[in-house]
Amino acid sequence: MKSAVTTVVSAADAAGRFPSMSDFESVKGSFDRAKARLEAAEKLASCLDKFTNLAVDAVYQNGSYEQANKDKCVRDIHHYLRLINYCLVTGGTGPLDEWGISGMREIIRIQLLPTAAYIEAFIFIRDEIKINDVMGQQAETEFKGLLDYLINALA
């Protein structure tokens, strides 16, 4: 699984060099943000169902998507948020990259689910839910950074 350390070491190895000082500073920055990431993971874990339901209800309330797909969307949004939670703990995007983005994109495509609904749900979580009521500013920044990463990957 990718973490800050494995990403830096793999990149340096692929370039045929030892990790540089800036590589080590990048790893240090990841360790410095660990407390905020763990706070975000803890708070997100306690709000997974709430965030999922608010986002899916907001997306499906206007009737743009088939209600028959709503339960699958709830399941998948919840799964993605759990993967974001794992990313917050590991300090890297490995869980999303390995289990969420490529794998889930294929499942969404095969089941003919609207990718736009997922993107709208994550944008709703990022922009409409008052996350700062749940977690501190730095933790919110870490969480929203991973939401942005996921939104861009699915778009």
- Taking the C-alpha atoms of residue 59 and residue 124, their distance in angstroms, rounded to an integer, is 8
| C-alpha count within 13 angstroms, C-beta hemisphere, residue 76 | 26
Is there a contact between 80 and 52 (Cβ–Cβ < 8 Å)?
no
Is 87 known as a binding-site position? no
Helices 115-127 and 137-154, axial angle in degrees (round to 10): 160
Q: Which residues are annotated as a binding site?
A: 73
Q: Which residues are annotated as a binding site for (2R,3E)-phycocyanobilin?
A: 73
